[in-house]
Structure 1
Amino acid sequence: MFENFTSFDIITQSDPSVSVHGIRGGSGPPLLLLHGFPQTHHIWHRVTPQLVQDFTIVALDIRGYGASSKPSGIAQYSKTVMARDCSVVMENFGFTSFFVGAHDRGARVAHKLLVNYPDRVRKAIFLDICPTLAMYSKTDFEFATAYFHWFFLIQEAPLPETMIGLDPRKWAELFMGGRHAGLAPFDAGVFEEYVRVLEDTDAVHAMCEDYRASASVDMDEAKDDLEEGRLIHCPLRVLWGRHGVIERCFDAVREWKDVAAPDVNVDGASVDCGHYIPEEAPDVVSQNIKLFFR
């Protein structure tokens, strides 16, 4: 599936038991790819073949997901910590300046990466996301209904962990298949990878901790960033699914402009698909990466 890619595990903090897993391949300027919930780097399997001739690709399993470490504690999943993981990995390969493509939860990590390491990221593309603070603070009935998992997964452990663990496959089928396109966008083998991760109780707990962090420490950090003028300083493009929640509930470009410096170019457009853009519309993603990062 990822031909000519090599896998790696890199220690990203003082605790040698905590590492981030990923794959690397291709040639050209470095491109970091980050996935969403409840997925892994496998979301990019239809995108990477179109990019390996143009970019050196590093695709991670973000902390708590896939084959990456799953340390205990909400603080371990603050987006500051997860952004540091990304910075350490890229620096380990000698990449001190790079592009970023990120979907869903990965784009929340990438948002903090752009804010905390403004000299590292040249340009970024975010997929089907608005800033966490904006989405929580502007929650209405329609958003809460469509994104029920934002409020389910943050419940005190072990409630959501127990409910998902009763039948991980059914959870994946109903949750991921309950969006616009059903299960049709997912390659059968890749979907099995997602199910396998959901069958890991440590992974499910880590994913819940990721969401709990977003509803607590990440919100506090986002407020502090705005109050202290820590903003995005690189060009940003946002793509969102025309049949998804971002289209219905938010002005994505406006929300991202609100957390970017005034002189930063922020643009975006809807894509004729649902939430899982890298798997539903890989050609559109690849084309935008090639053109915007040129």
Structure 2
Amino acid sequence: MAAFTTPDGITISHDVTGDGPPVLLLHGFPQTRAMWHAIAPELAKTFTVVTADLRGYGASTKPAHMKDMSFRAMAADQLALMAHLGFDQFHLVGHDRGGRTAHRLALDHPAAVLSLTLMDIVPTHLLLNDLTQQVARAYYHWFFLAQPAPLPETMIARDPDAYFQSCLAGWGGGMDSFDATALDAYRASWRDHDCIRTMCNDYRAAIDVDFDHDAIDLGQTVDCPALVLYGVDGIMGRAYDVAATWADRLLQVQSAGLPGGHFFPDTHPEETAKALLTFLTAQV
């Protein structure tokens, strides 16, 4: 594990493996960079692979204020990390919150992103602005976690394993499909009360900060090669034509459904790595 402190004083924990064109992998909620444990080694045969904990997650800094958990702030961290590592341009892959961070990074800093892969998300503004009953029921956590502090923090802290494992099992297809070592890393992170607070602030910021950023940028597109992956058995795959939600935002987009639910990188890492390698090697 390595650590880099940004000019804003945020320490980002990360790992670097392999050699070749740089690829940055960003995890989602409620995970850490450990989610890439089976995928990063496959990519590292061809690429320099950077896996990083988002601010507020894992071993990275847990900011005090809600606004500091915006996707724009998270994206700035990762851009600074890659510059520190000597990569002014890189391929970018994100799942869940990492995907939303990756989309924001590509909007704010398009010259840095050689290609963009988004996993099992639809655009944040679309999800919140055109919310359906089906999605609201399944993704209730967006609104539970966004309730004023300390209500969700207090409730979750009573038994964080029970709450966060209900998220993994509910969206991913059962706890037995997750790697035991990765689960240990996730549990160590979400048992930290500061991490519970910053994860709640992540969802508060999505509504109170990121939605407005996205509204301003509704007409902005991403021009680099892009790949949208989604779990064919997941909530997004059932509720949306996922590829279509990105058609007016990503100008060079291709898409594919992969086995499993929302957490297919965890539960089907071989298929995920294959899809990433096929796409990424075509860009170099």
Shared fold, TM over 0.5:
yes
1:62 alignment partner, SS class = coil
Q: By how many angstroms is 1:125 displaced?
A: 1.2
Q: By how many angstroms is 1:176 displaced?
A: 1.4
Q: By how many angstroms is 1:178 displaced?
A: 2.1
Q: Paired residue for 2:241?
A: 251
Q: Paired residue for 2:229?
A: 239
Q: Give 1:44's match in structure 2, choosing from 32, 36, 48.
A: 36
Q: Paired residue for 2:187?
A: 195
8 Å contact from structure 2 (residues 57, 199) kept in 1: yes
Percent identical across equivalent pairs? 38
Confirm whether residue 12 of structure 1 aligns to residue 2 of structure 2: no
Q: Paired residue for 1:3?
A: none
Q: Give 1:132's match in structure 2, choosing from 106, 124, 127.
A: 124
2:44 alignment partner, SS class = coil
2:254 alignment partner, SS class = strand
Q: Which runs of 4+ in 1 moved over 6 A?
A: none
In the TM superposition, what are the counterparts of 1:23-62 in structure 2 within 5 Å? 23-62=15-54
8 Å contact from structure 1 (residues 115, 233) kept in 2: no
8 Å contact from structure 1 (residues 78, 213) kept in 2: yes
1:31 alignment partner, SS class = strand
5+ unaligned residues in a row in structure 1: which ranges? Answer: 1-6
Distance of 2:28 and 2:3 partners within structure 1? 19
**More helix, by proportion:** 2
Residue 30 of structure 2 aligns with an amino acid whose one-letter code is P
1:101 alignment partner, SS class = strand
Residue 179 of structure 1 aligns with an amino acid whose one-letter code is W
8 Å contact from structure 2 (residues 171, 235) kept in 1: no
Distance of 1:196 and 1:93 partners within structure 2? 27
When the two structures are superposed, what TM-score results if normalisation uses the length of structure 2?
0.96
In the TM superposition, what are the counterparts of 1:58-207 in structure 2 within 5 Å? 58-207=50-199
Q: By how many angstroms is 1:201 displaced?
A: 0.5
* Alpha carbons of structure 1 residues 19 and 143: separation in structure 2 relative to 1, 3 Å: same
Aligned length: 281
Q: Paired residue for 1:283?
A: 270
Q: By how many angstroms is 1:230 displaced?
A: 2.9
Tell me how large the CA RMSD over aligned residues is: 1.2
Q: Give 1:268's match in structure 2, choosing from 228, 242, 255.
A: 255
Q: Deviations over 1:201-249 (max 9, x none)?
A: 10010011111111111000001112xx432121111111111111121
Q: Deviations over 1:119-142 (max 9, x none)?
A: 111111111111100111121111
Q: Deviations over 1:17-54 (max 9, x none)?
A: x2111111111100000001000000001111211110
Distance of 1:178 and 1:80 partners within structure 2? 28
Q: Deviations over 1:79-129 (max 9, x none)?
A: 111110010000001101110111000001000010011111111111111
5+ unaligned residues in a row in structure 2: which ranges? Answer: none
* Alpha carbons of structure 1 residues 14 and 105: separation in structure 2 relative to 1, 3 Å: closer
Distance of 1:128 and 1:239 partners within structure 2? 6
8 Å contact from structure 2 (residues 168, 263) kept in 1: no
